[in-house]
Amino acid sequence: MTVLGTKKFWKPAPGASSSQKENQILKNSGYINLQLHSVNYMSKGNFWQSTFGGWDKIALATTLKYHKGVELIEATSVQDMREVPVNKVINLGLQRNIAVKIPANADAISIDVKMTGVKNDLLQAKFDMLNKPEYQAALQLAPTVVGQVFTITSLVKNLFTDSDPRAQLEASYAGVISIQSEDNPVSIGKLTKGMLIMISTNDGSPFSNVDETKFELRGDSLYYNTKLVENTYIVFNISFEPLKGDDENSNWFKKYSDALGNLDKIQLTEDQSEIAKLFGDSKTMWIEGNALLDADVTYINRERVQIKNAAISSIQEKYKSLVQTTQPAVLSNATDIVKGLTGSTSFRTFNLAMPKTGSFLNANFDIDPAKPFDNNLLSAMNTENNLADLLHKDKRSYLASLKKNKLAFKLGSI
Tens digit of pLDDT for each residue in 345-403? 899 999 999 999 999 999 988 899 999 998 888 877 666 678 889 999 999 999 999 99
Q: Which residues pair with 174 in a beta bridge?
A: 110
Please give the angle made by the CA atoms of 341, 383 and 353, to the nearest 5 degrees.
30
**Residues of the chain predicted below pLDDT 50:** 1-4, 326, 330-331, 414
Helices (H) and strands (E) in the chain, counts: 11, 13
Position 167 scores a pLDDT of: 62
Contact (Cβ atoms closer than 8 angstroms) between residue 251 and residue 294:
no
* CA-to-CA dists, residue 365 to 80, 344, 354, angstroms: 58, 18, 16
Position 49 scores a pLDDT of: 53
State the pTM of this model.
0.85
Report how far residue 105's alpha carbon sits from residue 71's, in angstroms, rounded to the nearest whole number: 12
Position 333 scores a pLDDT of: 79
